[in-house]
Amino acid sequence: MTATPAWGADDAVTHLYAAHYRALVRLAALLLRDTATAEEVVQDAFVAMHGAWRRLEDPDRALAYLRQSVVNGARSALRHRGVVERHAPAPLPDGASAEHGAMVALEHAEVLTALRSLPVRQREVLVLRYYVDLAEADIADAMGISRGAVKSHASRGMAALRTTLEASR
């Protein structure tokens, strides 16, 4: 028997939107390099969370659920983009980072370029760890993988970054 949630699903959406929407869009944008798609992914996650609220019932679990949905949605969007590009080989708009590239310190651009060359899961782990500051268990949860896998993606990702950045010196 479940306790009555303090919030209804609509309230949950409103509160969590106010507290986390911007951060989640930024997370998705880091994974996707495209703010418009990032917003769509996050909006879909909130719609899903509204439907799942009956089972989530608490804001912490709802936030974990939103993160899962965002990571997953971003990955799907990337996959879809890959397919679309193969079928329509138009130049990919480079998204926020390139537009603002000139304004970003060269240092940042270099690190981000190296990050983007990593396999998708390594990149996800590093973004969740160093941007969202999630603990290993929460990263595992957000990505639907084991803690051991988080660990190995993280250390491989960091090793690859190190190699790339040193090679470009």
Contact set for another protein, span 32-61 (CB under 8 A): 35, 38-39, 41-44, 46-48, 50-56
Least distance from C-beta 161 to another protein, angstroms? 6
Ranges of H-type helices in the chain: 9-32, 35-56, 59-87, 95-99, 106-116, 120-130, 136-143, 147-167
Using CB under 8 A as the binding rule, whether residue 21 contacts another protein is answered as: yes
Using CB under 8 A as the binding rule, whether residue 160 contacts another protein is answered as: no
Binding mask 93-112 for another protein (x = CB under 8 A): ---xx--x---xx-xxx-xx
CB closer to another protein, 92 vs 163: 163
Among 58, 63, 68, 98, binds another protein (CB under 8 A): 68
Burial bucket for residue 93 (CB in 10 Å: 0-12, 13-18, 19+):
exposed
Cα torsion through 50, 52, 56, 62, rounded to 10: -50
Using CB under 8 A as the binding rule, whether residue 15 contacts another protein is answered as: no
Positions 114 through 143 that interact with another protein (CB under 8 A): 115, 126-127, 129-131, 133-136, 143
Q: Please count the CA atoms within 13 angstroms of the CA of 80 that sit on its side-chain side.
A: 9
CB closer to another protein, 47 vs 92: 47
Least distance from C-beta 52 to another protein, angstroms? 3
Residue among 114, 141, 116 nearest 128 (CA): 141
- Contact in structure between 128 and 142 (CB atoms under 8 Å): yes
